[in-house]
């Protein structure tokens, strides 16, 4: 299996679980829609009033889980950065291409966009014998 096959798996999914850490050092998770780039960057939106936003402002290390159907999953660790200016416009288009209905939130007060750069990814297919597991480091 090569990187492109793992990326194809990620592209087939619209939802992920994002985990962050609070200022009290407690883990918090949320299901969210996401987009992705061919470099495995993950794009998502949130509101500045959300717990994840507050968590990301004080600790930008995150983990995500993508896919859990049929015993196949991608575990993803990375660093998140809030997008601003021209960079935000570029990544919003990538996000909206996959999630066109999310455009309706674009003008809402407090909406913000993040890009997550990968550090480590593990693809696991537990239907295979032995299990098929591939790791990528960035």
**pLDDT at residue 6 above 90?**
yes
Each domain of the chain, given as residue ranges in start order, spans 3-137
38, 56, 122 from 48: Cα distances, Å: 27, 10, 30
Six-digit token pair at 53? 């936003």
What average pLDDT does this structure show over 11-19?
Answer: 98
Query: What is the Cα–Cα distance from 75 to 67, expressed in whole angstroms?
Result: 9
Question: What totals of helices (H) and strands (E) does the chain contain, helices first?
Answer: 3, 8
CATH of 3-137, one of 1.10.260.40, 2.30.110.10, 3.20.20.30, 2.30.30.830: 2.30.110.10
DSSP annotation string for 104-137: GGTTSTTEEEEEEEEEEEEEEETTSSS-EEEEEE
Do 115 and 41 touch, CB atoms closer than 8 A? Answer: yes
Angle at the Cα of 19 from the Cα atoms of 15 and 21, rounded to 5 degrees: 160
At 99 the three-state DSSP class reads coil
What average pLDDT does this structure show over 98-119?
Answer: 96
Q: What is the model's pTM? A: 0.95
pLDDT in tens, 19-58: 999 999 999 999 999 999 999 999 999 999 999 999 999 9
């Amino acid at each position: 299996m090569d990187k492109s096959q793992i990326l194809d798996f990620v592209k087939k999914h619209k939802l992920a679980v994002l985990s962050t850490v609070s200022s009290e050092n407690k883990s918090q998770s949320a299901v969210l829609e996401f987009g992705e780039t061919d470099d495995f960057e993950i794009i998502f939106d949130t509101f500045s009033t959300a717990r994840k936003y507050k968590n990301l402002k004080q600790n930008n290390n995150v983990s995500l889980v993508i896919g859990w159907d049929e015993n196949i999953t991608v575990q993803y660790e990375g660093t998140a950065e809030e997008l601003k200016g021209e960079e935000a416009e570029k990544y919003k288009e990538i996000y909206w291409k996959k999630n066109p209905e999310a455009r309706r939130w674009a003008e809402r007060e407090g909406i913000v966009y993040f890009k997550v750069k990968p550090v480590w990814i593990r693809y696991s297919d537990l239907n295979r014998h032995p299990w098929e597991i591939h790791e990528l480091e960035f």
